Amino acid sequence: MPIYEYACRACGRVFEAFLLRRTDETEVACPDCATREVERVISRPAAVSGSGASAGPRGGGCGPVG
């Protein structure tokens, strides 16, 4: 389920919305002022620390299993 970030044109709040379908975008409204005058903004990618799963057991990964 994609998470999109929006900015309200009326009050300036930036918020996230979960959309099941692209057509649901017409229903996105600002949680503060309830206007539908919103625009999608480009989000910064999340930072990844460490080397992830390729680092082996000491690299963090998913943690202990079992």
Per-residue pLDDT, 19: 87
55 secondary structure, DSSP code: G
CATH code for the domain defined by 3-44: 2.20.28
CB atoms within 10 A of CB 38: 20
Provide the residue ranges of all domains of the chain, joining segments of one domain with +: 3-44
Distances from the Cα of 21 to the Cα of 3, 13, 27, angstroms: 11, 23, 11
pTM (global) more than 0.85: no
Residue 28 has a CB neighbour count (10 Å cut-off) of 18
Within 8 A by CB and 6+ apart from 2, the residues are: 18, 19
Q: pLDDT confidence of 3, banded at 50, 70, 90?
A: confident
3-state secondary structure of 3: strand
Encode pLDDT of 6-54 as tens digits.
Answer: 999 999 999 999 888 888 889 999 999 999 999 999 877 766 666 555 5
pLDDT of residue 25: 87
